[in-house]
Amino acid sequence: MIYFLELAGRPIKLFVEESGKIVLLFLSALTWLVRPPLRLRLIAKQMEFVGVQSLSVVMITAAFAGMVLALQTYYGFRMFGGESLVGATVALSLTRELGPVFTALMVTGRAGSAMAAELGTMKVTEQVDALYTMSVNPVQYLIVPRILAAVLMVPILTILADFIGIVGGYFVGVHLLGINSGIFMARIVEFVEMDDITNGLIKSAFFGLILSLIGTFKGFYTTGGAEGVGKATTEAVVYASVSILISDYILTALMF
Amino acid sequence: MEKFSNEAKVGILVVISIILLGYMAMRVGKFSFTKEAGYTLVVYFDSVAGLALDVPVEIAGVEVGRVRNIALEANRAMVTLMMRPDIQLTKDAKAIIRTKGILGDKYVELIPGSDAAPLIEPGGRITQTIPTTDIDSLLNVLGSVAQDIKSLSQSLSNVLGGEEGERSMRQIVDNVQEMAQTLNDIVQKNNEDISTIVGNFTIFSERLKEIGNANTDDIRSIVDNVRKASEHLETLITGLHEITVKVNEGKGSIGQLINDDQTVKNLNEALASLKGVTEKINKGEGSIGKLVNDDQTVDNLNDALTGINDYIKKQDTYRTFLDYRGEYLFGSEEAKSYLSLRIQPREDKYYLLQVVDDPRGKKSTTEYTRTLDGVTSHEQIVEIEKDELKFSAQISKRYYDIAFRGGLFESTGGVGVDYYMYNDRLTFSLEAFDFDADTNPHLKFKADYTPFQHIYLTAGFDDFISEEGDESFFIGAGISFSDEDIKTLLFNVPIPK
């Protein structure tokens, strides 16, 4: 009996514990963020890693997302003669939803996992402890630059993803499906508001925060050697992806 | 790639993406840092079915504002428009809800008025709207038009259609034809006669000429006579003229009536003052005008009527009940009687005056304090007056199905609560009175059930926390009349004359 109760209670206890730890980590990262020295060089290195190196994968994803979106909505809209709305649909979906989410998921897979693996390895090889002994706070040295980089670079990547995605949609819609280019653009201009773009960017900043926080958290609390590192990496990607999708719904419901 | 530092790479990325963001923002067009620049206008539509918030407001197809708010006011749709500050509208501008695109999106189209009209102030109202012709109303109008045409053609066919109509039509045509024929015949037949007539006329005129020549003198004398006659006529006319002149000058009573300027003036003045009065009434000046024109009059009148209504209603609800109830107490094996007058000014409120004959009598406690040789002793003498009546006087206020009572209960202070069920046919009551520091209060629980209009049954438990062994179940019955019942009773009783 007790066993079954424990079985039911353990995941909840774990969830609450983990959430608490993440919040605490976030708070300490916030406090260390405003304490000098701000390690600009480290931040730049992380921004380069999170942003520039994710560029190609994000752009390819976005381009094909826009293209397939144009293709699919075209078949839908053709049923009642609304082909001209394909552009607006592609642009709205990308700016509001797919741009931020796909970008965040890609960055999670590429950079979030790397953060967990990197920090996890440092942890199990006691490099984190070594930082303590050098009186360098690991939160400030390792975590703050990564979070900052992700929060700044994911929106930047999202802008590019939005644009590339619309270009992809335009290519498919206008050149392959033969929608009038003027109408295609006019409908985009007509229906897309600046709010759509900015709200998408706000969402993507949150996603950046989530993926970096979970990635660094999983790495920072890794135990159990090489196997532990692998487990931490996997969990970081899974949890971050799920959290991004859940928070996406919440943020969308709040903003739009 | 080696020559680019991390910072440079990040910088390039950031610059590119910000340029792209700027480009997209410019294309999307609503690049506004200051939200809600402009002014509002209000339009009332009979229906805004399908109109959404934030849809464009257009003049000649150019967007000049947005729909900011849609609300219902006095059963009409109040639409608030946020207009671009550089757009100015005159007061005779018109608003119309139009449909755009294949999906039927609604938007507000403004039709500017003439330049001469005054401008609408910000926050003002566009008074003129053109009702939207949606398909439904269009079909409605078309239907009634078709109905009219149908009835018209029906009456036409009633007149012309059928054999009778056809026959009369044919008759008309036949008649016309016949007439023309006859005319033609007459002319042709009498051709010769007519020539003869004309010839006769020629001869006649020639003769006349001859006669004239022969009788010139006679004719002259005739002319003289005529001249004399005409002279007489002239004097006659002069007299007549004099009369009319006199009339014109206002001599004589008719003349005075017609000619006196005063009359006309009076008449004019009378008309003018009448006009003034009506104008004043129209403008709402003066008491009659105010009475007629002021909305307040109507409001006051309405208020007054409402007040009268209320009063009448109050009169209606004002009722008095006469009530007798008897309870048989099992404990003391005696009956207890209540006679009460319930005055009910409103449905939810009544005053109760009651006389109670309690077999247990009225208990009065007298306390004596005696000091005898420095020792103080208390003595209580409880007197029970068997024959004395007790009095109750209570007020009751009802909230939905619960009523609270307070006041005198059997000559002591108390409170009670009643719960009404089944359209007030069943009432549960709990009363607490005779509060005393030494003894428990008198609690009474009862249930009244009214199976018939004037008669009710009652049962309960009296004084159930008594310390003196007075607790007792009781059952009983009562009879209750409202004053109207009494009235009808009185009227229906035959009075010996």
Extract the residue ranges of chain A whose pLDDT is less than 50.
Answer: none
Q: Do the beta carbons of residue A103 and residue A158 sit within 8 Å?
A: yes
List pLDDT tens digits, range B282-303.
776 666 666 666 666 677 777 7
pLDDT given at position B219: 77
Looking at residue B480, its pLDDT comes to 85
Other CB atoms within a 10 A radius of the CB of residue B8 amount to 13
Establish if A189 touches chain B: CB-CB under 8 angstroms.
yes
* Alpha-carbon radius of gyration of chain B: 53
Residues of chain A with Cβ-Cβ distance to B25 below 8 Å are: 194, 197
Position of tokens 């004399």? B228
Residues of A in contact with B103 (CB under 8 A): 82
Q: How far apart are CA A253 and CA B9, in angstroms?
A: 36
Say which residue the tokens 């009227």 belong to.
Answer: B491
Mean pLDDT, chain B, whole residue set = 79
Say if the Cβ atoms of A47 and B17 lie within 8 Å: no
In a mutational test of the A interface, the residue from B16, B17, B55 whose CB has the highest number of chain A CBs within 10 Å is B17
Q: From CA B24, how far away is CA B297, in angstroms rounded?
A: 62
For residue B21, the surrounding DSSP H or E stretch is helix B6-28
Total tally of structural domains belonging to chain A: 1
What per-residue string of b and e applies to B411-435 under the rule 16 or more CB within 10 Å gives b? Answer: bbebbbebebeeeeeebebebbbbe
Q: Is B6's CB within 8 Å of A48's CB?
A: yes
Whether residue A160 lies within 8 A of chain B, CB to CB, comes out as yes
**Six token digits for residue A130:** 């070594």
Question: Which tokens belong to A20?
Answer: 């608490």
Q: What is the pLDDT of residues B93-119, one digit of tens each?
A: 888 888 776 666 778 888 888 887 788
C-alpha to C-alpha distances, B322 to A95, B358, B396, B417, nearest whole angstrom: 80, 19, 16, 21
Find the DSSP H helices in A79-98: 86-93
- Against a cut of 0.80, is the pTM above it? no
Reduced 3-state DSSP string for B308-332: HHHHHHHHHHCEEEEEEEEEEECCC
How confident is the model at residue B134, as a pLDDT? Answer: 65
Residues B412, B391: Cα–Cα separation, whole Å = 8
- Phi then psi for residue B471, to 5 deg, are -60, 140
Q: Which residues neighbour B32 within 8 Å (Cβ) at sequence distance 6 or greater?
A: A194
Mean pLDDT of B430-439: 82
Give the C-alpha separation, B417 to B409, whole Å. 13
> What is the C-alpha separation between B135 and B157, in angstroms, rounded?
32
C-alpha distance from B13 to closest chain A C-alpha (Å): 7
- From the list A52, A163, A193, the residue facing B28 with the nearest CB is A193
Mutate to test the interface with A, among B13, B33, B36, B58 (most CBs of A within 10 A): B13
Strand spans (E) along B35-182: 39-45, 56-59, 62-73, 76-83, 94-100, 105-111, 125-126, 128-130
Say how far apart CA A80 and CA A72 lie, in whole Å: 14
Q: Which of B9, B10, B31 sits opposite A194 (nearest CB)?
A: B31
Which pLDDT score, from 0 to 100, does residue A190 have? 79
Yes or no, beta carbons of A47 and B10 under 8 Å apart? yes
Percent of chain B at pLDDT exceeding 90? 1
Instruction: Verify whether the Cβ–Cβ distance B10 to A44 is below 8 Å.
Output: yes
Cβ(A174)–Cβ(A188) below 8 Å: no
Using CA atoms of B171, B173, B174, B176 in order, give the dihedral in degrees to the nearest 10.
120
Distance CA B205, CA B257 (A): 56
Instruction: Say whether B366 sits in a helix, a strand or coil.
Output: strand
Distance from CA of A67 to the nearest CA of B (A): 18
What is the per-residue pLDDT for B366? Answer: 76
For range B193-202, the mean pLDDT = 82
Chain B residues near residue A192 by CB distance under 8 angstroms: 28
Interface test with B, best of A194, A196, A204 (most B CBs within 10 A): A194
Answer whether A107's CB lies under 8 Å from A154's CB. Answer: yes
Dihedral-angle region of residue B457 (phi above 0 means left; psi in -120 to 50 means alpha; beta otherwise): beta
Q: Which residue has 């609604």 as its token pair?
A: B106
**Strand, coil or helix: A220:** helix
Contact residues on chain A for B66, CB-CB shorter than 8 A: none
Q: Between chains, do B6 and A157 touch, taking CB under 8 Å as contact?
A: no
* B9, B29, B30 ranked by CB distance to A48: nearest: B9
For residue B462, the model assigns a pLDDT of 85
Whether the Cβ atoms of residue A54 and residue A107 lie closer than 8 Å to each other: yes
Higher pLDDT, A26 or B362: A26
CA distances from B465 to B78, B432, B433, B445, B468 (A): 66, 11, 12, 11, 9
Rg (CA), chain A: 21
Of the partner residues A51, A185, A193, the one whose CB lies closest to the CB of residue B13:
A51
Residue from the list B17, B25, B27 with its beta carbon closest to the beta carbon of A160:
B17
How many A-B residue pairs are in contact by the CB < 8 A criterion?
Answer: 60
pLDDT of residue B34: 44
Joined together, the tokens standing for residue B326 give: 């008897």
Pairing relationship of beta strands B76-83 and B334-346 according to DSSP bridges: unpaired
Q: Which residue has the higher pLDDT, B307 or B274?
A: B274
Q: What is the pLDDT of residue B401?
A: 82
Contact (CB, 8 A) for B255 and B249: yes
Segment B31-74, tens digit of pLDDT: 444 455 688 888 888 888 777 777 788 888 888 888 888 888 88
What is the domain extent for residue A80? 2-255
Which residues 6+ apart lie within 8 Å of A58 measured at CB?
Answer: A102, A103, A106, A107, A157, A160, A161
| Residue B429 DSSP symbol | E
CA distance B23 to chain A (A): 10
**Beta carbons of A256 and A231 less than 8 angstroms apart:** no
- pLDDT confidence of residue B33: 43
Q: CB-based contact (8 Å) between A129 and chain B?
A: no
> What's residue B377's pLDDT?
77
Interchain pair B27, A160: CB under 8 A: no
Contacts of A44 in chain B (CB under 8 A): 5-7, 10
Distance, CA of A187 to CA of A210 (rounded, Å): 34
- Nearest residue of B to residue A41, measured between CA atoms: B7
Q: How far apart are CA A193 and CA A196, in angstroms?
A: 5
pLDDT at B32: 47
Q: Is A109 on the interface with B (CB under 8 A)?
A: no
Band of the pLDDT at B330, cuts 50, 70, 90? confident
Distances (CA, A) of A107 to A22, A61, A183: 19, 11, 34
| Cα B47 to Cα B57: distance, rounded to the nearest angstrom | 17
Nearest by Cα to A137 from A34, A27, A32, A38: A32
The minimum CA-CA distance between A144 and chain B, rounded to whole Å, is 17
Q: Are A52 and A160 in contact (CB under 8 A)?
A: no
For residues B162-180, average pLDDT: 85
In this prediction, residue B316 carries a pLDDT of 60
State the pLDDT at residue A208.
Answer: 93
Residues of B with CB under 8 A from a CB of A: 5-7, 9-10, 13-14, 16-18, 20-21, 23-25, 27-32, 102-103
| Shortest Cα distance, chain A CAs vs residue B436, angstroms | 58
H helix intervals, B29-72: none
